[in-house]
């Protein structure tokens, strides 16, 4: 998911937040957990009928562990993003992965955006160093973002004061 905010008046050419897509909605998650719970209850009931009644507790614990694992995974997804910010002087990539933050500041004048059909990852290169952006984006989103970043870099170049 891409969230865009652009402010040309203050010479901010790109201000975007890249977030992971959530394939399973809250409603879908509730349905999945209902199915897991019913399956666990049914299997536990069958095992109880044949005399293996202690298994019912383990079936309930399995359903609870599946629920907790999904909740933990979904919480991590919401807490991960990349913030891409381009102004006249810098391209800043702020990566936030839970408790870990990383900020990369690059000079746009020496920046190349590499992305094509043959090269799937979106990479910005500055003086031989490569930085991947949006590794979790779908290929079509990566392609769109690469075009948007290239367009913002061109726009930045047009707004630079011209030397005599």
| Residue 72 contacts residue 66 (beta carbons within 8 Å) | no
pLDDT in tens, 24-73: 888 999 999 999 999 999 999 999 999 998 888 898 899 999 999 999 88
Q: By percentage, how much of the chain surpasses pLDDT 90?
A: 55
pTM greater than 0.75 (yes/no): no
pLDDT in tens, 20-36: 877 788 899 999 999 99
Q: Tell me, what's the pLDDT at 15?
A: 93
Number of CB atoms found within 10 A of residue 79's CB: 13
What number is the average pLDDT over the span 112-129? Answer: 86
């Amino acid at each position: 998911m891409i969230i865009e905010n652009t402010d040309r008046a203050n010479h901010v050419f790109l201000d975007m937040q890249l977030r992971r897509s959530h394939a399973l909605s809250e409603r879908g998650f509730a349905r999945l957990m209902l199915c897991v719970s019913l399956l666990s209850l049914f299997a536990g009931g069958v095992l109880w009928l044949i005399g293996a009644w202690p298994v019912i507790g383990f079936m309930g614990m399995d359903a609870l562990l599946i629920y907790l694992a999904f909740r933990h995974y979904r919480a991590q997804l919401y807490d991960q993003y990349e913030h891409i910010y381009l102004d006249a002087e810098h391209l800043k990539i702020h990566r936030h992965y839970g408790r870990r933050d990383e900020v990369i500041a690059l000079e746009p004048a020496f920046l190349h955006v590499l992305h094509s059909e043959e090269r799937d990852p979106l990479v910005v290169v500055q003086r031989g160093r490569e930085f991947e952006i949006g590794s979790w984006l779908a290929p079509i989103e990566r392609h769109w973002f690469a075009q948007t970043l290239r367009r913002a870099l061109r726009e930045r170049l047009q707004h630079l004061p011209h030397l005599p």
